[in-house]
Amino acid sequence: MTSARQLPTAARRGLATLGLAGLALQLGACMQLPVYHLPEGQAKAQLRTTAAPGTPTLCVNHVNQRLWPDSQDLADIPAGSQVSVGTIYQAGDGRVTYTCKPQVGFTPQAGQRYISVLLVKSSACVVQVLRESPDTPTGLDWEPSLRRSDC
Amino acid sequence: MSRFRFVVLGVTAVAGLLLSGCASQYLNANTPLGIYGGYWDRPGPGKLITVGFRGNQYTTQDGADKMVLRRCAELTLAAGKHDFQVFDSPVDAVAGRPLAEINGAVLGGKPVPTVFLLVLDKPAPRSFSVGADGVATYQATVQ
């Protein structure tokens, strides 16, 4: 097998250009997600995205969109039917960039406030969704309708 | 070689020795020196506090895990308490499944442990207790 160091300079430059182009395409794809706007008259819940760094996403009717939280990291989401929430997260050290796009599905209840949490593990990353519940010891509670993302 | 060049070379060599080949130290990752790693924390989710450590390639997994525990102990004392539990995830916190020891993630060969801290009002089973020396000790049961 030929390693990158054995390739001629022109080929190495080509590979580097391809890598940069790929990264640009990837970043471009993230930015091109349309921003979600809650339809007028739609029952709503709220999602806090503080604990899920990256670009927050919402999938409604199999269409992935970008959430745009307010200054308190709260975003309106539709209630009453299944949605999927997640984040597009990137981490890197200047040499390698790690990207993950975890999502989880659930059915938000009108008036309820939820929080999404990104967990970065050694081999994967996952997003958890819980209900905000000030009366419990942790301030959190289960969301019973959790299921696999359908997006 | 002029004296000025000697000084510049000396300073560069010392700085290089200090900054290279060293594991991330116990310092706030959000300070300028934090570019080499360190601890971080942020409030939430809920009443939990997210606490993590960003190590470099010279930081051992065990060392990074201990620094997270040390930061948890500091935050507990800062809250005026002595007892705390740590969880692997918020779901584990809601389920009441605290960790007995931290065994964090590794990303790109660098340890990046993250836990969710719950400061307690009083000792509880499977919690850590911070002693007068600031060291946290795990207790499986409450005496």
For residue A7, the enclosing domain spans 1-32
* CA B53/CA B26 separation, integer angstroms: 9
Q: Using an 8 Å Cβ cutoff, are B50 and B42 in contact?
A: yes
Mean pLDDT for the stretch of residues B18-40: 73
Q: Does A59 share its domain with A6?
A: no
Query: Domain for residue A28, yes or no?
Result: yes
pLDDT band at residue B57 using 50, 70 and 90 as cut-offs:
confident
Q: For residue B138, what is the enclosing H or E element?
A: strand B136-139
Chain B residues whose beta carbon lies within 8 Å of the beta carbon of residue A136:
46, 94
Task: Give CA–CA dist B77/B130, Å, rounded.
Answer: 8
pLDDT in tens, B80-116: 999 999 999 999 999 999 999 888 888 878 888 999 9
In the block, which residue shows the tokens 């939820």?
A114
Does A26 touch chain B if contact means CB atoms closer than 8 Å?
no
The pLDDT value given to residue A138: 97
Amino acid at A128: Q
Phi, psi of B117 (to 5 degrees): -95, 135
Q: Based on the domain organization, do A101 and A60 belong to the same domain?
A: yes
Indicate the SS3 state at residue A100: strand
Does ipTM top 0.85? no
Q: How near does any CA of chain B get to the CA of A13, in Å?
A: 25
Question: Residue A53 half-sphere exposure, CB side, CA atoms within 13 Å?
Answer: 8
If you write DSSP's letter for every residue of B73-128 in order, what string do you get?
A: HHHHHHTT--EEEEESSHHHHHHT---SS----EETTEE--EEEEEEESS--TTEE
pLDDT exceeds 80 at position B134: yes
Q: Same structural domain for residues A1 and A61?
A: no
Phi and psi at residue B72, to the nearest 5°: -60, -40
Is A118 near chain B, with CB under 8 Å?
Answer: no
A26 and A70 both lie in a single domain: no
- Say whether both A103 and A52 belong to one domain: yes
Q: What are phi and psi of B78, to 5 degrees?
A: -65, -25
A71 and A116 assigned to the same domain: yes
Nearest to A121 by CA among B92, B95, B89, B123: B89
- The verdict on A73 and A19 lying in the same domain is no
- From B11's Cα to the closest Cα of chain A, the distance in A is 26
Please indicate if any CB of chain A lies within 8 Å of the CB of B90: yes
Q: Do A102 and A122 sit in the same domain of this protein?
A: yes
Instruction: Give the whole-number percent of chain B exceeding pLDDT 70.
Output: 83
- b vs e for B72-91, b when ≥16 Cβ sit within 10 Å of the residue's Cβ? bbbbbeeeeebbbbbbbbbb
Query: Å from A90 to nearest chain B CA?
Result: 12
Backbone angles phi, psi at B74, to 5 degrees: -60, -45
CB B114 within 8 A of CB B105: yes
Q: Are residues A11 and A73 in the same domain?
A: no
**Neighboring chain B residues of A132 at a CB cutoff of 8 Å:** 46
Residues with pLDDT less than 50, chain A: 1-4, 25, 28-29
Distance CA(A97)–CA(B9), nearest Å, equals 35
Q: Are residues A49 and A15 in the same domain?
A: no
For residue range A35-68, list pLDDT tens digits in order.
999 999 999 999 999 888 899 999 999 999 999 9
Around Cβ A14, how many Cβ atoms within 10 Å?
12
pLDDT per residue as tens digits for the range B59-88? 898 999 999 999 999 999 999 999 999 999
Closest chain A residue to the Cα of B54, Cα to Cα? A93
Question: In chain B, what residues touch A142 (CB-CB under 8 Å)?
Answer: 91, 94
A72 and B CB contact within 8 Å: no
Whether residue A136 sits in one domain with residue A86: yes
Query: Is A146 inside a domain boundary?
Result: no
Which of A87, A98, A140 has the most B C-beta neighbours within 10 Å, making it the best mutation to test the interface with B? A140
- In whole angstroms, what is the distance from residue B66 CA to residue A5 CA? 39
Domain boundaries, chain B: 23-139
Judgement on whether residues A58 and A127 belong to the same structural domain of the protein: yes
Number of domains in chain A: 2
| The predicted structure's pLDDT at residue A68 | 94
DSSP A56-71: EEEEETTEEEE----T
Give the whole-number percent of chain B exceeding pLDDT 90: 50
CA dist list (Å): A142 to A51, A111, A131, B96:
16, 16, 6, 12
